């Protein structure tokens, strides 16, 4: 595997992937000692099917999760989800288990805590990610490999969204392991799916307007990576990348960060201008992308220093308040507010 693609986060601690207390650790050791099968085949310490399922998991969940878990236990779907998590340890069953678990993301609200607090599951996800690095350069990612890793990324998105796992997800620096996927330029469907799904994980982090997530991302290379995709990516990846930049700008610290230096401001504004020019020249009706672009411009105009510069560098096509290519009424309102902030009539 090329070292070029292996990212080890700064201050990384291997025990940050699975956070358990000393008491829980002793519990696992005692439970594993009672098992006839080797410990490496276990995910949940002392797991056996109902009725002991709740007992073996509840020690690893927060008090809030325990109450939720009591209600969740009544759902017959729980047993199936746990079986899929257990099957992740079996290399022959892992691909199918990943696919089935990914399908449960929206229908099973407790999936994220179960994944995070099950011993070894996050390590398995990182192992699956690391295997893909060697296929990035030269570009040799097959559709089957792309589909498998996208199932993993879908589960990471679940962890990034859930209120009980988001902070742990950030403290483990797991988003950094996805950045090599965002740094690819191959336009094949396999690579585009990889980029879009990776962006979806980052998008899940910023979707909740969590200052902790924004502060974390600002300390990484996510903004340059998103700007590159916004400039040269395909339709869906450009849209998600622009959404991420928009959410960073909507945070006060994010806006101040981008407007702090001319280099950062111009890097963002020039990419936004390129995207507007592309949409206008191609006459492509992409209202969703346009919505994110206009919102980024409006937010930049709310910074006094950036607003003064933006008067000169706003694309000419946006200086006309009667532009017909803006069809959404909310976006039209944002556009008018943008022109008012810049004193453009």
> Is a pLDDT exceeding 60 seen at residue 120?
yes
Q: Cα 176 to chain center, whole Å?
A: 10
What's the pLDDT at 54?
Answer: 43
DSSP string covering 276-300, please?
HHHHHHHT---HHHHHHHHHHHHHH
pTM (two decimals): 0.79
Which DSSP category does 302 fall into?
T
C-alpha Rg value of the chain to the nearest Å = 23
> Is a pLDDT exceeding 50 seen at residue 123?
yes
Residues 6 or more apart in contact with residue 185 via CB below 8 angstroms: 232
What's the pLDDT at 75?
Answer: 59
Average pLDDT for 176-183: 97
Q: What are 7-31's pLDDT values in tens digits? A: 333 333 333 333 344 554 444 344 4
Give CA–CA dist 56/63, Å, rounded: 14
With beta carbons less than 8 A apart as the criterion, state whether 192 and 146 touch: no
What's the pLDDT at 68?
Answer: 52
With beta carbons less than 8 A apart as the criterion, state whether 197 and 150 touch: yes
| Residue 299 confidence class, pLDDT cut points 50, 70, 90 | very high
Average pLDDT for 318-341: 88
What's the pLDDT at 302?
Answer: 95
Q: What are 230-257's pLDDT values in tens digits? A: 999 999 999 999 999 999 999 999 999 9
Which DSSP category does 262 fall into?
H
Q: What are 266-286's pLDDT values in tens digits? A: 999 999 999 999 998 887 778
Give CA–CA dist 285/103, Å, rounded: 32
pLDDT, mean over the chain: 82
Residues 6 or more apart in contact with residue 242 via CB below 8 angstroms: 226, 230, 275, 289, 292, 293, 296
Q: What are 49-63's pLDDT values in tens digits? A: 344 444 444 444 444
> Is a pLDDT exceeding 70 seen at residue 3?
no
> Is a pLDDT exceeding 50 seen at residue 6?
no
What's the pLDDT at 19?
Answer: 39
């Amino acid at each position: 595997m090329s070292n070029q693609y292996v990212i080890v986060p700064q201050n990384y601690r291997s025990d940050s992937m699975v956070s358990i207390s000393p008491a829980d650790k002793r519990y696992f050791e005692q439970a594993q000692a009672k098992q006839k099968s080797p410990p490496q085949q276990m995910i949940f310490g002392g797991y056996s099917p109902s009725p002991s399922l709740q007992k073996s998991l509840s020690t690893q969940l927060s008090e809030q999760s325990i109450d939720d878990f009591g209600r969740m236990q009544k759902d017959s779907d729980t047993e199936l989800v746990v079986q899929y998590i257990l099957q992740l340890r079996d290399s022959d069953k892992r691909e199918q288990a990943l696919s089935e678990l990914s399908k449960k993301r929206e229908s099973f609200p407790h999936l994220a805590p179960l994944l995070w607090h099950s011993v070894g599951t996050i390590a398995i996800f990182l192992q699956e990610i690391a295997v893909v690095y060697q296929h990035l350069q030269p570009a040799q990612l097959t559709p089957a490999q792309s589909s498998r890793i996208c199932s993993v990324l879908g589960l990471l998105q679940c962890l990034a969204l859930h209120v009980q796992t988001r902070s742990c997800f950030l403290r483990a620096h797991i988003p950094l392991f996805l950045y090599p996927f965002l740094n690819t330029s191959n336009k094949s469907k396999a690579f585009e799916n990889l980029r879009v799904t990776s962006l979806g994980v980052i998008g899940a982090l910023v979707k909740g307007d969590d200052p902790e997530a924004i502060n974390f991302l600002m300390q990484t290379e996510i903004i340059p990576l998103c700007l590159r995709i916004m400039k040269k990516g395909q339709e869906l990846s450009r849209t998600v990348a622009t959404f991420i930049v928009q959410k960073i700008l909507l945070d006060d610290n994010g806006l101040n960060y981008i407007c702090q230096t001319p280099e950062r401001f111009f890097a963002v504004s020039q990419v936004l201008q390129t995207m507007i020019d592309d949409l206008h020249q191609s006459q492509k009706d992409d209202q969703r992308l346009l919505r994110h672009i206009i919102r980024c411009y409006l937010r930049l105009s709310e910074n006094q220093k950036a607003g003064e510069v933006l008067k000169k560098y706003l694309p000419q096509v946006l200086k006309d308040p009667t532009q017909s290519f803006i069809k959404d009424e909310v976006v039209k309102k944002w556009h008018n507010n943008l022109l008012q902030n810049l004193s453009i009539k």
